[in-house]
Structure 1
């Protein structure tokens, strides 16, 4: 873990407990004593998470601050308190607090609890990063002399841009994503239009015909958008 935690507390007993926890876990924390100080710190650097001493701050201020900073904190928010009611716990969790921990706490229990939260946030961050990279670097798909850019909703043939209607592009994209598979008209309708289309066969056939007119060299003898008699279509 490279980033420290951000602790809001004036309670020296809690601070000493957390120092002992951090020493054993090889963590660090930065201490502030007011919600305003916490907000200012978040503006200047990233933190692994927030440790919030509820004994030092009113519930209304706590909820308001959590609502303000939650999107800035890519890590767990943990509230420490000597006692708490069920009603207040419900309010804290609705404000997207991750955990409420009573202090004095048992160090050997709290450490793995925080480690689990850190693992979860790191895993979610890695998944978002991977998804973002996949989207950003999505290749242009080439089928014969067609070039399909699904990210930018563009298609060209031999370098010349082809204009498709939104539904034509959605249908082509669906076929591309299932390339080589035989798809029934019902599957195509469900995948592109939804379930409320009447006259399924006609709507699919019309759009396939339009795609062939725009993309195939000979629409009457297609080489990519093929009919599978008695069943449906496939893209090859």
Structure 2
């Protein structure tokens, strides 16, 4: 079985060396980079299952690096930052990150979040064959391929992050049913809801921008005001 590889990108070498101990003790292979440009070079040569990346770094910061990575790859990305305001978190999530951890952090919490992201990512990228007729969910011109972890709209392939794909699949499997923000958050993040509403809204907005012809008048992901969201059933 291939050892899972995590790329940790942070210019604070003490943090990188500390987390190297924690992740190696958990059986992961850790690659270390100290700026965004170095991280991109690693990705040209290495198969990486998860990226943990600081926002503030020299040469190329985490925001720019995350945007460049999302142009080509969809592995989970956890952003690290000493800035803990809601706007900073929303920015990180809106450019393609799947999770956001504020500094200083508990190393055990970061390991737990990494494990959660990896479980979810591999769940939706399994090579095993799905049940008959369960590998594709088709809603008019929207096709969700569970086996390939791909989404097509009007024949055009759309690149979603693992978290965005999970939300869309959740809505698709409950087509026509309204799911509250709390239901979505608990199912996808596996955490207490608390203040997760803004996080869900950011991801829904990102999904709409990618699959809807007019995100302001969505055809697929519908808002039911005061309740939550639903995906309209196939025609």
TM-score of the pair, normalised by structure 2: 0.49
The higher radius of gyration belongs to 1
Structure with more relative contact order (C-alpha pairs < 8 Å, separation 6 or more): 2
